[in-house]
């Protein structure tokens, strides 16, 4: 069983995972951008978690910081067999969830599971991961503060790791993915609107 107590542990673990992918399956196209984005999500999510805590909204800031760093780990650990049914890695949070659960890191796994527009993606493709369809195993939408803060961080950090506005993040994503891609369809189905509501709520609470 893997033990991750703090950010340093998580960072060492994450770098090892990235290096194994670099030497093996090579799922990641740009290792530097991948790490920078993950680090940026961690920083943004953690900063808002601390602000919320200071304002009486209790949350596990350490879990938020670690989970923010590892939220995309599924992209680096997906097996060639799993990649065949998810070639564009749009279900990376499920791959990451399963990997982290296998390492005994259930708290982190559950925190990263309800990423971005997973709810809509599951509605579009219920047969790819039928065991998770309908939220039978874990909620498909972020519920806890820790889950919501990680999703918030992901919605506010570009693919290169810069903190941006939500609109800039959406423009970045829609530029990188085709308009008829499953990810963009999931945003149009309601994923983007749900993220707007989430981001606006957290922004209002930390002002």
Domain spans of the chain, in order of start: 7-206
Helix (H, G, I), strand (E, B) or coil at 157: strand
Q: Which residues pair with 49 in a beta bridge?
A: none
d(CA 23, CA 140): 33
Query: Is 90 exceeded by the pLDDT of residue 164?
Result: yes
Average pLDDT over residues 119-130: 94
Q: Does domain 7-206 have CATH number 1.10.3210?
A: yes
Q: So what's the pLDDT on residue 162?
A: 97
| pTM for the full predicted model | 0.96
d(CA 76, CA 193): 28
């Amino acid at each position: 069983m893997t033990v991750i107590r703090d950010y340093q542990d998580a960072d060492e673990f994450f770098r090892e995972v990235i290096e194994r992918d670099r030497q093996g399956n090579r799922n990641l196209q740009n290792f530097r951008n991948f790490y920078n984005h993950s680090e940026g999500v961690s920083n943004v999510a953690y900063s808002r978690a601390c602000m919320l805590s200071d304002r009486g909204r209790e949350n596990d800031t350490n879990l938020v910081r670690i989970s923010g760093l590892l939220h995309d780990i599924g992209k680096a650990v997906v097996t060639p067999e799993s990649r065949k049914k998810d070639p564009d890695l749009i279900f990376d949070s499920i791959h990451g969830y399963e990997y982290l659960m296998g390492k005994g890191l259930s708290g982190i796994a559950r925190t990263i599971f309800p990423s971005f527009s997973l709810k809509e993606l599951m509605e579009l493709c219920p047969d790819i991961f039928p065991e998770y369809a309908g939220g039978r195993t874990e909620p498909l939408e972020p519920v806890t503060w820790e889950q919501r803060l990680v999703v918030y961080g992901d919605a506010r950090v570009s693919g290169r790791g810069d903190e941006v506005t939500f609109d800039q993040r959406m423009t970045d994503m829609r530029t990188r993915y085709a308009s008829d891609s499953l990810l963009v369809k999931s945003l149009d189905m309601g994923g983007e609107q749900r993220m707007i509501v989430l981001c606006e709520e957290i922004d209002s609470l930390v002002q």
